[in-house]
Amino acid sequence: MILFLLLLTYWQETVPLKPSDEFEVLVDFQFKTRPQDANGNYSVNFTDSEKKTTYNGEQLGYLILNVKLNKLNEHELKVRGVNSMGKRVISRKVSTGTIVKLDLGFIYDIKKHYTANEYTLFLSGAKSDTSKIVLTIQDDGTFLVNGVVQGKF
């Protein structure tokens, strides 16, 4: 009985990856200046002093990902996105051709894990998740889509 429950739990939690020919990820890489704080410093606002980094107004790499859903099956009606920090980043209805915009932020912050480095988009129907897309940026800047290397930042 316990084995059955464990298998049932594993089966329920496993959501298959969406085939790569049914979507595309468009990278919008920009250079931006980090906003100034009240003292006129360019900094990352974290309570941990070792995470505080100051910049002198230099341009830093900034990443926005646009995921275009080219093909959906009849059960894929909604998208729900969560990041590696457990925050919900999107939840809405979708149709074929929908573009899901993910504003990831500064590349430096992502690689240092000051902000989320992984985003999972769950495509679902009325009752359950049918597929997912996993977008990851590793510590060295390697960019993966569903575990496949797509480039490096």
d(CA 22, CA 19): 6
148-152 and 142-145: which strand pairing? antiparallel
The string of pLDDT tens digits covering residues 30-88 is: 999 887 666 655 555 454 444 455 556 678 999 999 999 999 999 999 999 999 999 99
Element (H, E) at 2: helix 2-13
d(CA 115, CA 130): 27
Is the pLDDT at 15 greater than 60? The verdict is yes
Rounded average pLDDT over 14-19 = 94
pLDDT at 7: 44
Is the pLDDT at 153 greater than 60? The verdict is yes
Cβ proximity of 134 and 146 under 8 Å: yes
Is 45 or 23 the better-scoring residue by pLDDT? 23
pLDDT at 4: 45
Tell me the one-letter amino acid at 91.
S
Rounded average pLDDT over 17-35 = 94
Tell me the pTM.
0.81
Is the pLDDT at 133 greater than 60? The verdict is yes
Is the pLDDT at 128 greater than 80? The verdict is yes
Mean pLDDT estimate for the chain: 85
